[in-house]
Amino acid sequence: MFNLNINLKFKFFIIYIFLIDSMIGLIIGFNELTYWLVLLNSIIIPIVLLTTNSRVLTEFIFILGLLMMISFSTFNLFIWYITFEVVLIPMIYIISKGSASINSRYRALLRFTLYTILGGILLLLGLSILFINVGSYNYWSYVLNSSAFGSLDLKLELILFPINLIPYLLKLPVIPFHLWLPDTHGEAPTSGSIYLAAILLKLGGIGLLRWLIPIFPFGYLYYRPLIMILGLVSAILASIICIRHIDLKKLIAYSSIAHMGILLVGLTSINKISIKGFILILFSHGLVSSLLFLLIGILYVRTKTRYLYYYKGLATSMPIFSTFLFIGLILNSSIPPSLSFFAELHLLQGAFINEFIGTTHSLIAVFFSGIYSLLLFTRIIFSKISNNHWSDLKLREFIIALPLVLLSFLLITIID
């Protein structure tokens, strides 16, 4: 009992710390991108902590939260690289505590480690060349020197842009840099999947918007058609995969890849509206993906399987769960009046200004997201009633899921 009380006090202390860090950010004047991501971190950390009873996992989640706080707020090139890579260590431990077979976990860990190391090597190479040419770790020195004074040679910038682009595409991820994500989500425990989808993947987004495009503006203009193609392929292909996939956790993982593809399409047009949409999608995706992985994790605890065809007629035995799943899939489909809808509306509206044809094609992915969400819901909720009757959401599970739903609707009131 004594150890249990200590563990609960420790959790509440962490929750308190991470709930006030967004208030501190407001006081000291975070920029908009940092503030939204810090706020997301403040919301997700308590959710993740409440989903696990392991003290060791709690400590590793706490370490990850601190690393992400530093990564989101730093403007130092060296610190950014260190935090970008160090997250590998606690995530390896978290993934290793999944409930899958040893071989499956080994494969997931191997892919996650290899892809992370590959991205780290490329990022270190690109940033090292940058430091040699500019001679500073300060972000503003790179931005001012590269965009205003042109100290970087144009040919060098065109070479460095794809070298620095790949690590961020690996972190988002988008097709064809995505193979590590479905396996990692499939084998990780629920707490690991939630934090990975909600927070860690945002390193790719902040890397693109803060570090890549401002430092390599001419490289961005040159490679913008390639970014558009990658975004379209990822969004459409991942959405089609979702229609046919039968593993629920991997299906949600591919859904994240599809949303990141739309994010990449919107990035091909830089203006105030599209940047606002970019930031809001990062935030709303963190809430929605957390909700879906939480619900699938709850279902897995009861059934010990993630395969789609095993579930039938859940509405009869789990009506509250079915309601939450319905809301989560609506949010995932970006249907109004959700925060996801306004985020994609801002992003695509801004992208329409300069990239009308490519952005129009991205609507195909938006259409498919509604299709696979509807199919998923009808297959497991309204299919033929089975003999299995699992218990509905417990009070603890209800309390964990409810804030994610409320915030996905209520936060639209603070959008400009």
Give the residue among 350, 188, 217 at the shortest CA–CA distance from 279: 350
- pTM of the entire predicted model: 0.89
User: How far is 254 from 134, CA to CA, in rounded Å?
Assistant: 39
User: Average pLDDT, stretch 331-358?
Assistant: 80
Question: In the structure, what pLDDT confidence band is assigned to residue 100 with cuts at 50, 70 and 90?
Answer: low
- Whole-number pLDDT of residue 62: 81
Per-residue pLDDT tens over the stretch 111-155: 888 998 899 999 999 888 888 887 778 887 777 654 444 456 788
Residue 84, CB-side half-sphere exposure with 13 Å CA sphere: 32
> Would you tell me the crossing angle of helices 77-86 and 102-134 to the nearest 10 degrees?
170
What pLDDT shows up at residue 27?
Answer: 45
State the pLDDT at residue 6: 47
Per-residue confidence band for 74, with pLDDT thresholds at 50, 70 and 90: confident
Query: Of the given ranges (86-100, 142-156, 188-202, 297-311), which has the lowest mean pLDDT?
Result: 142-156
CA distance 292 to 313: 18
Percent of the chain with pLDDT over 70: 85
Number of folded domains that form the chain: 1
Residue 67 has a pLDDT of 86
pLDDT of residue 389 exceeding 60, the answer is yes
Nearest to 348 by CA among 336, 361, 338: 361
State the average pLDDT over residues 21-40: 66
Least confident of 11-25, 135-149, 180-194, 394-408: 11-25
Contact 87, 192 (CB under 8 A): no
User: What is the average per-residue pLDDT within 96-124?
Assistant: 83
Which residues, including other chains, have CB under 8 Å from residue 204's CB and lie 6 or more apart? Answer: 168, 169, 170, 171, 172, 173, 260
**pLDDT > 50? residue 29:** no
Question: Is residue 372 scored above 60 in pLDDT?
Answer: yes
> Residue 380 above 50 pLDDT?
yes
Whole-number average pLDDT of the chain: 82
The CB density around residue 308, as the number of other CB atoms within 10 Å, is: 16
Window from 97-106, 287-296, 300-309 with minimum mean pLDDT: 97-106
pLDDT at 387 exceeding the cut of 70 = no
Give pLDDT, residue 338: 84
Per-residue pLDDT for 109 more than 80? Answer: yes
To the nearest 10 degrees (0 to 180), the angle between helices 272-303 and 248-266 is 180
Indicate if the pLDDT at residue 9 is higher than 80: no
Question: Containing domain of residue 364, as a range?
Answer: 2-414
For 67-74, what is the mean pLDDT? 86
Q: Assign 392 a pLDDT band (cuts: 50, 70, 90).
A: confident
pLDDT band at 351 (very low <50, low <70, confident <90, very high): confident
- For 334, the token pair is 């970006």
Question: Is the confidence at residue 194, as pLDDT, over 80?
Answer: yes
Cβ distance 156 to 187 under 8 Å?
A: no
Residue 352's Cα: distance from chain center in Å?
24
Least confident of 23-32, 182-191, 372-381: 23-32
Rounded average pLDDT over 230-250: 89
Residue 294 reports pLDDT greater than 90 = yes
Alpha-carbon distances, residue 353 vs 17, 55, 118, 362 (angstroms): 42, 50, 35, 14
Q: Which of 114, 137, 112 is closest to 201 using CA atoms?
A: 112
Q: What angle do CA 105, 111, 112 make, to 5 degrees?
A: 85
Section 363-384 average pLDDT: 82
User: How much of the chain exceeds pLDDT 90, in percent?
Assistant: 18
User: pLDDT tier at 328 (50, 70, 90 boundaries)?
Assistant: very high
